[in-house]
Structure 1
């Protein structure tokens, strides 16, 4: 089992070293393999990172700039249950644009640029309805998991959707000792309809001594591009739920299955591994909305964040 452990006392080290140690372990010792995208990866299996969220701390990387507002907008979008990229594109959030863009290019043969495609998604509602749909991805499963009711004639009728997020908030308030505080994205029956099956698939919450802990299991993880966003987003969700349930944020535990670096990310990896973490960024939530679904981007204030320069690499679709 691969871990991001260090030979030195981890309590004395900046928590970001866990991420850098993991990146170095994959790059130097990972198994080189072919993958769905055709790009190729170096991969290890079964990894873990742990972060204490006490005093507003967040796993926000400083060895490169992480666009935390973009990741936050995506998380707020998940909580709406929306599955069309139009609302994201309106906010110039292009995290999901490449998948529908790739489908559009394949099916029409038109080599449209991403900027022009996103512009059409925003300006043309029929175009967005046809080409901006992602299928039943994260938000749909989180707040409207489909149910089916068996009928006397042997058929099934669609039942009411399950809002997993609301149910977890309710169960944390009323039954904090439960071992069933889970938000699950891996709906086997609907995977084929998704633009991308969920990578950060299972969130479990745990209450101890008035602190809310969260464990995220991620089946597949792009460490260079995806993981910095995943760490921030999951810890953000944990902080929001903690506020809604009158608990203090506790430990965030991230667990990875296939944890990999793409072979075309060499420049990014080598530049980032040459840097050292600096500072301790913190998050303040400026207000407490009535529900977990009522947060807005202006509610989140990050302080003490002075990251080193941005590092870019191509995304594998």
Structure 2
């Protein structure tokens, strides 16, 4: 929470007003922000100065790990964050690569689980990493990336958190995640939860101890229509202590995520929070 609140205040104090050409809405913006999450000690990074919807964030991550490319698939597992980008983004609605209602295109999970090689074959980035780590291999390139420059126009949104690098030091597994763009009041906490849960799951899949997750953001911003709620309500609240995350011990391998795991297999303990804040979402 301290890192989160410090970033909000830094954007308010140092940010520059930038008009976003895609949305037409101004953003108060800074470049370069960093977070660290202590996964080993299970300090779950959920926001406490407003209610955080952690199950929706975890559902979104599950959809990425399964390689989903359709908003209906995300809705089915408890995540509604892709409905507007799939169905209300006018640029995407006019895009010839869009297949039908709810189609998201070749973004996130599709790239991670089904990267297309020049010869037309598919490459599963996630399985490569898991297989290497299970054999004790860290080739300094245990990387999964959702950002495919050759297929950027084939998706409804350019991936925001686009690359995850796993690093092995002895028996401890670390994660470094890179994000090109971050809506701080609304989207950041989803991204924080993604980093934390991804490292915790990957450590379990590969039989290592989870260490820290490092989260690096390039463009961190607050939309103009979010600023009053942030300044007048959220930043005036006193944060509570971070809770812990309990993951069903029966989850042991990637195939479990692909076949039977649901958000009900993830429970947070000791979560105290202030009331929800309905921040506007800008498509």
Instruction: Answer yes or no: same fold by TM over 0.5.
Output: yes
Which of 240, 248, 255 does residue 278 from structure 1 map onto? 240
Partner of 1:300: 266
State the 1:66 CA deviation. Answer: 1.1
Partner of 1:188: 149
Map 1:60-75; keep pairs closer than 5 Å.
60-75=46-61
Contact 2:50 2:275 (8 Å CA) reproduced: yes
Partner of 2:139: 178
Which of 73, 83, 86 does residue 100 from structure 1 map onto? 86
Q: Distance in 1 between matches of 2:204 and 2:252?
A: 11
Contact 2:87 2:93 (8 Å CA) reproduced: no
State the 1:247 CA deviation. Answer: 1.1
Partner of 1:18: 3
Q: Does 1:145 align with 2:115?
A: yes
Q: CA RMSD in A?
A: 2.0
Contact 1:84 1:129 (8 Å CA) reproduced: no
Q: Distance in 2 between matches of 1:283 and 1:72?
A: 11
Task: Say which SS state the counterpart of residue 212 (structure 2) adopts.
Answer: strand
Task: Assess, with a 3 A threshold, how the Cα gap between structure 1 residues 25 and 293 changes in structure 2: closer, same or farther.
Answer: farther
Using the size of structure 2 for normalisation, the TM-score is: 0.91
State the 1:132 CA deviation. Answer: 0.9
How many aligned residue pairs are there?
Answer: 274
Map 1:1-317; keep pairs closer than 5 Å.
16-35=1-20, 36-103=22-89, 130-149=100-119, 158-159=120-121, 161-270=122-231, 271-295=233-257, 296=261, 297-317=263-283
Task: Assess, with a 3 A threshold, how the Cα gap between structure 1 residues 208 and 231 changes in structure 2: closer, same or farther.
Answer: same
Using the size of structure 1 for normalisation, the TM-score is: 0.82
Structure 1 unpaired stretches of 5+: 1-15, 109-127, 150-157
Task: Assess, with a 3 A threshold, how the Cα gap between structure 1 residues 268 and 248 changes in structure 2: closer, same or farther.
Answer: farther
Q: Distance in 2 between matches of 1:26 and 1:182?
A: 30
Q: Deviations over 1:4-62 (max 9, x none)?
A: xxxxxxxxxxxx11110001110221011111211110111111111211232211111
Q: Distance in 2 between matches of 1:39 and 1:231?
A: 24
Q: Distance in 1 between matches of 2:11 and 2:90?
A: 34
The structure having more radius of gyration, on CA atoms, is 1
Contact 1:205 1:213 (8 Å CA) reproduced: yes
Contact 2:30 2:221 (8 Å CA) reproduced: yes
Q: Distance in 1 between matches of 2:138 and 2:100?
A: 45
Q: Distance in 1 between matches of 2:6 and 2:91?
A: 38
Contact 2:183 2:222 (8 Å CA) reproduced: yes
State the 1:298 CA deviation. Answer: 2.5
Task: Say which SS state the counterpart of residue 201 (structure 2) adopts.
Answer: helix
State the 1:289 CA deviation. Answer: 3.2
Task: Say which SS state the counterpart of residue 195 (structure 2) adopts.
Answer: helix
